[in-house]
Chain A
Amino acid sequence: MTQLALVIDLNVCVGCHACVTSCKEWNTSGPAGYMTDENPYGKDPTGTFFNRVQTYEIGEFPHTETVHFPKSCLHCEEPPCVPVCPTGASYKREEDGIVLVDYDKCIGCRYCTWACPYGAREIDEDQKVMKKCTLCVDRIYDQSLPEAERKPACVLACPTSARLFGDVQDPESEVSVTIREQGGYQLMPEWGTKPSNHYLPRRKTRMHIHEDELQRADNPLNKEQRGPSAPVDAPTLDDSTSW
């Protein structure tokens, strides 16, 4: 079994929105049609996006830190949005676990958005169908692209490599090893949706300097300053032993 997914490293994300814009650029030009923008240059621009980067402040001033949090469809292993769809437009692919919407079958009833606790689905206000992240399904299998580019647009765009892409069911894949070794976690585990996308926590890089590291025990200077030998009147080894 294969379950393609993203692993997003919150320790590395700088919140530059490159994944958002590259996602929009790739998918608005894709075979499934454009992604609507209303008032793109007006007062209240709004539109359909598959991916958003949010920003949270953790803690209270002055002990705060900023976390940038990219959010897109998590391609759950138990997607609650799929069984509720009355037309079968929402489905989960057997072969790679990607959750997709068939835009030709969707009636735009919005029931799936109610059934997604993550708010990962957005209706296209122009085409009146539900849209969501496709993991760039039209790109990752495209044989005309060089193999290194057969990845979701957001992964390729990330300047800090905060996004990894791979099969989370394969225990030896890069994403599985990363999740295992770096404490990858899922969002809202309480609902049993088993999201496939994982997040890597913030990890503090701290230097630990011990006292003896400040005062080097083997500092050669100490040797140089030490006296060349014991005082002449002190007893020597020869005085206390007899060979």
Chain B
Amino acid sequence: MHPAFSVIFLTTLIGAGQGLFLAIFTGQSYSAVRLVATQDSTSFYGLGALLALLFLVAGLFASFFHLGRPERAWRAASMWRTSWLSREVIMLPALMGLIFIYSMMHFFGWDTVLFTSKEGTTLQLSLVVGTVAVIATFLLFICTAMIYASIKFLQEWACALTVVNYLLLGTASGFTLATLFANSTAPDLVPLYGSWAIIITAAAFVTRGASLIRNARIKSKSTIQTAIGIRHTHIQQKSMGMQGGSMNTRDFFHHKTAAFMQVIKWTFLVLVFPLPIILLWIGMESNSSGILLGAFISQYLGLIAERWFFFAQANHPQNLYYQTT
């Protein structure tokens, strides 16, 4: 497929935003059971959720550049019964709304204690809202990934690993961002976020690596023989039916060399996984915001390359009909 930067930015930005929200909520839920210290509502939970919301808004903004008719985008919510894209279109604003409510509850102290246990731990209203938002976050990850995984003839995508990778890569970048955020606002939580960021990044390395191995061994179900229905081992296309190209020749192929693909692959394999892990480690040891910022930038740039590769690697069967490009 031809990688569209609007979709690359959409998926990487909302992935980081969703991951950051999961991290902020993890901090609050851990503190509710006194595993970590409770942080300031405004400057940490409220601001952190708002930062996550900012990433989601930026992702939504990027997505509009993918549409030919953005003014009709509201219609995209109508076919949620059948279309994963429609489901994503519903889940993204729903999650944005929930995160907005969650952050406002913290900013303005609209919080009450719903339940107090004998040991003195409390269940706050913001935790309930946050839990709903966490469910929405996971649903949004599934919707986003299923847009790709549900197209069965894009064999590189049609796999459960696609969903796992979207979930883990987004969460990894969000926790890396949370480590950076906590370093300046809540130093107590840096070890928590940093170690989770390293664990999730390592897990994502395993699953993304698995999908790379799987895709390298993929055997295409469709061949030129099934495409035109003629049984001969030697079939060569002489004319595509047009001279100057069409959408079919522009939108379904990356038009880059195999060497370029290899460079992108190794770039993201370095930038997304080992480099951020090392930088997170050093950053946590030295409490340096600069190094943690480096970890996030490295991972985010790497994820852009990763997403580019994800799209470019998918070989659409329609390319069988357009071989002389």
Binding site for B on A (CB under 8 A): 17, 20, 39, 43-49, 52-60, 66-67, 69, 71, 80, 82-89, 105-111, 113-119, 122-123, 125, 127-129, 185-191, 199, 201-202
CA distance A44 to B236 in the complex (A): 23
Contact A45–B243 (Cβ < 8 Å): yes
B118: CB under 8 A from chain A? Answer: no
Residue contacts A-B, CB under 8 angstroms, 9 given: A59-B234, A71-B321, A87-B78, A87-B86, A105-B75, A117-B317, A119-B318, A128-B69, A189-B226
> Given contacts A105-B72, A108-B69, is CB(A86)–CB(B154) below 8 Å?
no
CA distance A238 to B79 in the complex (A): 100
CA distance A191 to B228 in the complex (A): 14
Contact A118–B242 (Cβ < 8 Å): no
Contact B252–A202 (Cβ < 8 Å): no
Which A residues are in CB contact (< 8 Å) with B42? Answer: none
Contact B226–A187 (Cβ < 8 Å): yes
Which B residues are in CB contact (< 8 Å) with A85? Answer: 79, 83
Nearest residue, chain A, Cβ from B2 = A110
Which B residues are in CB contact (< 8 Å) with A111? Answer: 83, 85, 147
Min Cβ gap B12→A in Å is: 18
Which A residues are in CB contact (< 8 Å) with B319? Answer: 119
Min Cβ gap A61→B in Å is: 10
Among B77, B236, B251, B317, contact of A113 (Cβ-Cβ < 8 Å): B251
The tally of CB-CB contacts under 8 A between chains A and B is 178
Which A residues are in CB contact (< 8 Å) with B43? Answer: none
B239: CB under 8 A from chain A? Answer: yes
CA distance A187 to B226 in the complex (A): 6
Contact A202–B230 (Cβ < 8 Å): yes
Nearest residue, chain B, Cβ from A191 = B153
B244: CB under 8 A from chain A? Answer: yes
Among B154, B221, B237, B244, contact of A55 (Cβ-Cβ < 8 Å): B237
CA distance A52 to B322 in the complex (A): 11
Which A residues are in CB contact (< 8 Å) with B85? Answer: 84, 86, 109, 111
Nearest residue, chain A, Cβ from B239 = A55
Min Cβ gap B96→A in Å is: 18
B213: CB under 8 A from chain A? Answer: no
A contact patch SS:
loop
* Nearest 10 Cβ contacts at the A-B interface: A108-B68, A128-B68, A119-B318, A52-B241, A44-B244, A83-B82, A86-B86, A86-B76, A87-B75, A55-B239
CA distance A71 to B228 in the complex (A): 9
Which A residues are in CB contact (< 8 Å) with B229? Answer: 185-187, 199, 201
Among A67, A105, A122, contact of B246 (Cβ-Cβ < 8 Å): A122
CA distance A38 to B143 in the complex (A): 36
Chain B, 238-255, CB within 8 A of any chain A CB: 238-248, 251-252
Among B72, B234, B251, B317, contact of A58 (Cβ-Cβ < 8 Å): B234
Min Cβ gap B296→A in Å is: 30
B34: CB under 8 A from chain A? Answer: no
Contact A71–B241 (Cβ < 8 Å): yes
CA distance A199 to B227 in the complex (A): 11
Which B residues are in CB contact (< 8 Å) with A56? Answer: 228, 230, 235-238
Contact B76–A87 (Cβ < 8 Å): yes
Which B residues are in CB contact (< 8 Å) with A116? Answer: 318
CA distance A86 to B227 in the complex (A): 28
Nearest residue, chain B, Cβ from A51 = B241
CA distance A189 to B153 in the complex (A): 12
Nearest residue, chain A, Cβ from B154 = A114
Min Cβ gap A214→B in Å is: 33
CA distance A52 to B75 in the complex (A): 31
Among B84, B227, B246, B317, contact of A84 (Cβ-Cβ < 8 Å): B84
Among A80, A108, A119, contact of B322 (Cβ-Cβ < 8 Å): A119
CA distance A117 to B72 in the complex (A): 26
B121: CB under 8 A from chain A? Answer: no
Which A residues are in CB contact (< 8 Å) with B247? Answer: 48, 113, 122-123, 125
Min Cβ gap B59→A in Å is: 15
> Given contacts A105-B72, A107-B73, A113-B251, is CB(A201)–CB(B230) below 8 Å?
yes
Contact B228–A109 (Cβ < 8 Å): no
CA distance A188 to B85 in the complex (A): 25
CA distance A24 to B66 in the complex (A): 27
Among B72, B73, B83, B242, contact of A46 (Cβ-Cβ < 8 Å): B242
CA distance A57 to B236 in the complex (A): 5
CA distance A212 to B67 in the complex (A): 72
Which A residues are in CB contact (< 8 Å) with B79? Answer: 83, 85-88
Chain B, 144-159, CB within 8 A of any chain A CB: 147, 150-154
